[in-house]
Amino acid sequence: MHVTENKNGFTLIELLVVMAVISTLAAILFPTFASAKSAATRTTCLSNARQLGLAWQMYAEDADGTACASYYYSPDFSSEIAWDFETHFGSGSKPGLLGPYVRTGMVCQCPDFHGESWGRPYTGFAYNTTYLGGDTFAEYPVAALGAIADPAGTVLFADSGFGDPVAAANYLRAPSDPLFVVGKVDFRHTSRATTIWADLHARSALNVFHREGRTGGLSEHDEAYDLN
């Protein structure tokens, strides 16, 4: 009587073939997974930007057509009251001027930003300080909505940052602004940045102007920031 011997294991060649197949599948699928994750974070970032734009619009409507201020200080300079957070030096922070118009401070956060936050719990976006929110020390006035001649061409908020590694910049500066170097756009989404404009349309912008590593500007001069 002939007895057939059962094989209970893999040969070396079979193991090598299986490993080769797994490696090939991993090489194909991992970039897909990474791309899907990147797309998801961009979608979240875009949603947050749109919510900030709506909050800005509601604030302006309640303020008789005046834009939200970028920031100001309490008389004794113990607190900074800004568009995103009110900071009491030495005792943390709470939602700022746009706080009553957003459901959570998380809308101020870009999920792809993980740099220095300067004490703010949520960071990643910056507000057009040079032309819309104003700057007391630089004598830039807070804009009236009626003065915005080209809402579709006036940026409200953008992914922002400066330096290397990139740190948070909550005040977006135009190229002509002496503080432009610390208020640039951060093109953190594969050389693109999420932006929201004064007509409340959102779009992804390419890193083309004033490039310095991952940061740069939205235009060569001030045309993407000014009211015209």
Whether residue 33 is predicted with pLDDT greater than 50 in this model: the reply is no
52, 125 in Cβ contact below 8 A? yes
Per-residue pLDDT tens digits for 78-93:
889 999 999 887 677 8
Mean pLDDT computed over every residue of the chain = 88
What pTM was estimated for this model as a whole?
Answer: 0.82
SS3 per-residue string spanning 44-81: HHHHHHHHHHHHHHHHHHHCCCECCCCEEECCCCCEEE
What pLDDT is stored for residue 4 in this prediction?
A: 52
Angstrom distance (rounded) from CA 132 to CA 126: 12
Which is it for the CA torsion 152, 185, 192, 196, positive or negative? negative
Per-residue pLDDT tens digits for 161-217:
999 999 999 999 999 999 999 999 999 998 899 999 999 999 999 999 999 999 999
